[in-house]
């Protein structure tokens, strides 16, 4: 397969399955092979697969966006759109749908900006190209039709996200006068129907089982107080319930019942509900009228009120119109039913507190529970479970919960800085860190004495959303650490990687390749306390693990050469560095200097460990008493509720 400077066709591959599809397509269209073509894969995993098949390609590295302007722009566009007076009509029974869908739209903007920039750069740098070929996502053919209601609740713009690459290609191709070819792909109708049937059957059986179970608990177990309607993981709920023996939990995430086990379900008299547990047929006409008004207002806005959303030579307005059309037609009807279901649920169950794992999320049920609870005068409480990023381009500034219980004063100050009342941001610490209290005793024996060389614990990073952090960012992170440690004689590294992650083999092989010249071990199932105990220094990106390392008094380097990560580190961790609690590094030279300093000066490591303990006490309330404080907060909120009738 030839690559020429005058390639007429560009193939953009963003799934592994596209490699074989590309080969078949070229076999069927031999004139494209003769004209010259260019293959551009969207990430390292596809690059490796192409190399194994000996297929030439051009790396995406030179085309991908590197600055953080798209993050800020996605936030600014969403704020300007949804905070404008033209969208005030987009609410139902006191629930703001602009608040609910804010993150979904911001996330979609970000995805369009990422792939739009890549495709624009491809066409600008290859002016001889006359044709762009992109294949449809294999997921878009099957995922949405099978579990329609589930996907609407979990990720309202799932379909739009899955077809974003094709949509961007068609948009930019039309704007630049380039032919865009999207080869047709089919999926078995029989398979889709079977999938829908099996999903509906499982759902019906689950509903029946839960109804029988709830009736049994109601008959056989006494009522408790306070009554807590919770949407959270069982592992986060159980430490709180253990200190609230008279409480009565009601789980919204019913699959968490399997993680709790029969013994705990009976012990804590747990009942299981969601929006579908309550009939809302009596409000069908009201919902139909709301949908009619939404349609009229949206058509008016569509004709006159949407900006162009222009960036780097292309305008996203047509794609945003399609996204809002899909939101109104496919998502809003189910959302209105869920809002009615939430009001019916809170009216029937009369909880004292609504307890949430998150209240800024792509999943709509968190926001619905928080907003409906507020409308009914029931306090909603979100517990911080990881580091927040409240700086420019943040994903998590718009929490819907009435109260957000945070780790410590530094996080409270950040929330106040973006407009939250301080009294709504109580400081409680973290039950997760309660379990570390004894293990992280600073008086414990330092087992690093006598160890040869410097053992480093590297916190492994994964690709979550490629439009925010892609596989090249991942490679750059590991390469920087490996190159720095190669210059430290006697050093070794343990890379902590989350077990069971998607594309696990890709991550493992990438790490093995990059750290080939540094003695290394990959840890997946070992606990952080034992890894902290067996290493001297911790190196991490922007992660909650940094706080865990400081809690254990570990000398810690927080590093990132990726612009967005760097901005997050500067926003949150600068004050830790100023207090002497950790080291920050933003360039290869700074990282190498940090490792050299720590390797050659054990006294510096000792001082940094001491300051780490002081810093974590200064900035966070990790004293082992978080669960007790959360129980006190829940009881106080339950006593102070001011229940109001449903609108």
pLDDT given at position 465: 63
Domain that holds residue 578: 455-619
pLDDT class of 312 with cuts at 50, 70, 90? confident
The reply to whether 590 and 476 lie within a common domain is yes
Residue 113: inside a domain:
no
Tell me how many domains the chain contains: 2
Kindly tell me if the per-residue pLDDT of 196 is higher than 60.
Answer: yes
Kindly tell me if the per-residue pLDDT of 482 is higher than 60.
Answer: yes
Asked if residues 370 and 391 have their Cβ atoms less than 8 Å apart, the reply is no
Residue 291: inside a domain:
no
Lowest mean pLDDT among 199-203, 343-347, 502-506, 604-608: 199-203
pLDDT in tens, 578-618: 999 999 999 999 999 999 999 989 999 999 999 999 999 99
pLDDT given at position 145: 45
Q: Which residues contact 324 (CB under 8 A, 6 or more apart)?
A: 298, 302
pLDDT class of 642 with cuts at 50, 70, 90? low
The reply to whether 459 and 376 lie within a common domain is no
Kindly tell me if the per-residue pLDDT of 622 is higher than 90.
Answer: yes
Q: Which residues contact 448 (CB under 8 A, 6 or more apart)?
A: 455, 535, 536
pLDDT given at position 127: 93
pLDDT class of 206 with cuts at 50, 70, 90? confident
Lowest mean pLDDT among 43-52, 94-103, 633-642: 633-642
Q: Above pLDDT 90, what percent of the chain?
A: 74
pLDDT class of 187 with cuts at 50, 70, 90? low
Per-residue pLDDT, averaged over 63-77, amounts to 92
Lowest mean pLDDT among 39-43, 205-209, 500-504: 500-504
Asked if residues 456 and 494 have their Cβ atoms less than 8 Å apart, the reply is yes
pLDDT given at position 360: 92
Per-residue pLDDT, averaged over 252-278, amounts to 91
pLDDT given at position 445: 46
The reply to whether 463 and 398 lie within a common domain is no
pLDDT in tens, 543-579: 999 999 999 999 999 999 888 899 999 999 999 999 9
Q: Which of 113-117, 255-259, 304-308 is most confident? A: 113-117
- Residue 315 CA to residue 66 CA, distance in Å, equals 20
pLDDT class of 359 with cuts at 50, 70, 90? very high
Residue 464: inside a domain:
yes
H/E stretch holding 611 = helix 602-619
Residue 522: inside a domain:
yes
**Would the pTM count as exceeding 0.85?**
yes
The reply to whether 525 and 571 lie within a common domain is yes
pLDDT class of 193 with cuts at 50, 70, 90? confident
pLDDT in tens, 272-304: 999 989 999 999 999 999 999 999 999 999 988
Kindly give the pairing relationship between strand 403-405 and strand 455-459: unpaired
Residue 479: inside a domain:
yes
pLDDT given at position 2: 43
Which pair of tokens denotes residue 101? Answer: 């869908």
The reply to whether 627 and 611 lie within a common domain is no
Q: What is the mean pLDDT of the chain?
A: 90
The reply to whether 432 and 482 lie within a common domain is no
pLDDT given at position 144: 47
Lowest mean pLDDT among 177-186, 398-407, 441-450: 441-450
Kindly tell me if the per-residue pLDDT of 255 is higher than 50.
Answer: yes
The reply to whether 611 and 628 lie within a common domain is no
pLDDT given at position 570: 94
pLDDT class of 447 with cuts at 50, 70, 90? low
Instruction: Report angle CA 618, 622, 626 to the nearest 5 degrees.
Output: 135
Residue 403: inside a domain:
yes
In 3D, which of 12, 18, 11, 47 has the Cα closest to residue 471? 47
pLDDT given at position 450: 56
Which pair of tokens denotes residue 370? Answer: 């928080």
The reply to whether 413 and 359 lie within a common domain is yes
The reply to whether 574 and 601 lie within a common domain is yes
Number of Cα atoms under 13 Å in the Cβ half of residue 103:
20
CATH assignment of the domain containing 429: 3.40.50.2000
Lowest mean pLDDT among 63-77, 141-155, 307-321, 496-510: 141-155
CA torsion 265-266-269-272 (nearest 10°) is 40
The reply to whether 426 and 530 lie within a common domain is no
The reply to whether 531 and 414 lie within a common domain is no
Per-residue pLDDT, averaged over 3-12, amounts to 79
Lowest mean pLDDT among 100-104, 147-151, 298-302, 396-400: 147-151
Residue 590: inside a domain:
yes
The reply to whether 603 and 643 lie within a common domain is no
Residue 193: inside a domain:
no
């Amino acid at each position: 397969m030839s690559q020429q400077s005058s390639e007429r066709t560009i193939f953009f591959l963003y799934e592994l399955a596209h490699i074989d599809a590309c080969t078949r397509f070229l076999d069927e269209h031999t004139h494209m092979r003769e004209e010259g073509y260019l293959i551009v894969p969207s990430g390292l995993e596809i690059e490796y697969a192409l190399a194994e098949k000996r297929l030439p390609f051009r790396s995406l590295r030179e085309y991908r966006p590197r600055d953080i302007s798209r993050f800020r722009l996605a936030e600014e566009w969403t704020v300007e759109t949804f905070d404008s007076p033209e969208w005030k009509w987009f609410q139902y029974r006191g629930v703001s749908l602009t608040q609910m869908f804010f993150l979904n739209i911001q996330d979609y903007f970000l995805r369009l900006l990422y792939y739009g920039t890549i495709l624009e750069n491809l066409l600008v740098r290859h002016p001889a190209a006359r044709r762009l070929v992109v294949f449809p996502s294999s997921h878009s053919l099957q995922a949405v039709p099978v579990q329609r209601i589930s996907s609407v609740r979990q990720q309202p713009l799932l379909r739009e996200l899955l077809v974003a690459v094709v949509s961007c290609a068609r948009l930019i191709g039309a704007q630049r006068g380039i032919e865009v070819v999207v080869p047709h792909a089919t999926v078995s109708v029989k398979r889709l129907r079977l999938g829908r049937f099996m999903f509906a059957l499982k759902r019906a059986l689950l509903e029946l089982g839960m109804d029988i179970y709830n009736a049994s608990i109601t008959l056989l177990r006494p009522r408790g107080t306070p009554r807590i309607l919770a949407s959270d993981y069982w592992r986060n709920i159980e430490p709180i319930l253990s200190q609230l023996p008279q409480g009565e939990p009601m789980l919204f995430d019913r699959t968490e019942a399997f993680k709790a086990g029969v013994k705990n379900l009976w012990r804590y008299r747990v009942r299981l509900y969601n929006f579908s547990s309550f009939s809302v047929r009596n409000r069908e006409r009201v919902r139909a009228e709301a949908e009619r008004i939404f349609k009229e207002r949206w058509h008016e806005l569509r004709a006159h009120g949407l900006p162009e959303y222009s960036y780097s030579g292309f305008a996203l307005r047509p794609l945003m119109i399609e996204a809002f059309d899909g939101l109104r037609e496919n998502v809003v009807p189910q959302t209105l039913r869920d809002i009615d279901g939430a009001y019916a649920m809170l009216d029937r169950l009369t909880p004292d507190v609504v307890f949430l794992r998150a209240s800024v999320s792509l999943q709509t049920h968190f926001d619905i529970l928080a907003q409906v609870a507020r409308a009914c005068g029931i306090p909603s409480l979100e517990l911080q479970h990881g580091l927040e990023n409240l700086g420019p381009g943040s994903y998590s500034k718009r929490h819907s919960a009435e109260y957000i219980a945070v780790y410590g004063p530094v996080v409270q100050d950040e929330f106040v800085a973006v407009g939250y009342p301080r009294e709504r941001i109580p400081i409680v610490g973290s039950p997760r860190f309660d379990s570390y209290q004894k293990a992280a005793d600073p008086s414990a024996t330092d087992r690093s004495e006598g160890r040869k060389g410097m053992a480093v614990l590297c916190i492994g990073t994964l690709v979550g959303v490629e439009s925010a952090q892609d596989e090249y960012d991942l490679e750059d992170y590991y390469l920087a650490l490996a190159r720095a440690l190669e210059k430290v004689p006697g050093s070794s590294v343990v890379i902590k990687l989350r077990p069971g992650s998607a594309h696990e083999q890709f991550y493992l092989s990438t790490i093995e390749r990059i750290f080939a010249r540094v003695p290394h071990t990959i840890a997946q199932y070992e606990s952080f306390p034992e890894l902290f105990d067996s290493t001297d220094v911790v190196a991490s990106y922007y992660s909650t693990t940094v706080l865990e390392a400081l809690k254990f008094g570990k000398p810690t380097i927080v590093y990132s050469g990726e612009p967005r990560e760097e901005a997050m580190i500067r926003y949150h961790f600068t004050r830790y560095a100023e207090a002497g609690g950790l080291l920050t590094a933003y360039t290869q030279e700074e990282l190498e200097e940090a490792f050299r300093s720590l390797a050659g000066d054990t006294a510096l490591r000792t001082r940094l460990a001491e300051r780490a303990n002081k810093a974590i006490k200064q900035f966070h309330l990790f004293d082992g008493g978080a669960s007790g404080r959360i129980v006190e907060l829940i009881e106080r909120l339950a006593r102070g509720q001011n229940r109001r009738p449903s609108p």
